[in-house]
Structure 1
Amino acid sequence: MSRRLDGRTGFALVLICCGAGLATLELAPTPLRGAAWQFGWALSFGLGAALLVGAALANRRRGWLWIPVGCLFSLGLVSGAVASMRLVHVWAYAWPLVVPAGLGLGLYLHGLTGRRLGEQSWGLGLAKVGLLLFLVLAAFFEGVMHWSQHNQGLASNAILAAIVLLLGFWLLVRRWVPARER
């Protein structure tokens, strides 16, 4: 019988950790339960990413595990940000942060651990596309459609200001950094 970590064993460990976490939350006192449930999805995605990092480091031949790590990590970050700011409508345009950007992060990590420069540059390119797509969609939904004003009050002005600032910084950095170093 082989004792190495394979996909079924990793999935079983994920299920055991999630079940233990749910049982712990169910037995927790009520004040703790409310805060934990608010960030439950973000914590679950973070735990899944951490378990996959362990699996990817334990078995170098399964380098493809870095790809779901990137997606789960970015999904956890977006879930945590949405839960903390209570801007549920952001999910309408936050998916590019998960799929292209998270996938790009995973490809970059896969290339980094295997010293594959092609995958690193491809991953960074995908991450940039995801971020740019998120900024364009956020500018449309917040700047043109004013989704935050319908749902949360003045948050759309802050989101739109952040988008404009990030775009300005990005253009400035692209101008200052020579093309060979990018």
Structure 2
Amino acid sequence: MKWHEINGEIGNVKYFNAFNMLPDSFIFKPARNKFRFKFTDIVSCNDFLESKVGRVSMFDNYRAICKIDKDSPMVNISLLDAKNYCSLLNARIPNEQEWFEILYTYITNKYNFNEWYITLHGNKDVNEILLDSNMMLGNGFEMTSTVSNKPISNIMKGGDVINDLSHLDPFLKATFNITSNSYSNLMFRCVR
């Protein structure tokens, strides 16, 4: 499992207003200006199935798919299994803010964030685009630990199987049912 260290600071971004981490009200002004933590790539089939959690996982239907491509992301598992896997690494599932900080840092290392935003969204206010899951980019989604205001749901963000964050949008989100294990495109990573 590969870990990446992130050590960043939210700069002067005119599209951030009044960031709250209340469920489904992700209105941007960072809750903290500076942040530092470690995160993994998307957890692969091989990493998951070789762990204690994966060896006892009941989802044998996906175990067969993983045998074909051990480097593919581990999907079709429950949030509980993902949390248990991360806890083996003394880590946890990232919350929505941490997921945003990972992507924000990636973007700002390559672009001026305000120019990037205008290119993608024009002059739309951030709150106009937040819940438009139809605009979510990537070839999958990522679990977060942030609880939604919908029953038994958490927030999910755009994700990318090959860990290329360049086309993802940190502002967009949707929800997933935390009791389900049937999401074939819902991946996860760990943070600590």
| Band of TM-score, shorter chain | under 0.3
Structure showing greater radius of gyration is 1
Higher-RCO chain (CA-CA 8 Å, sequence separation at least 6) = 2
Normalized per residue, the structure richer in strand is: 2
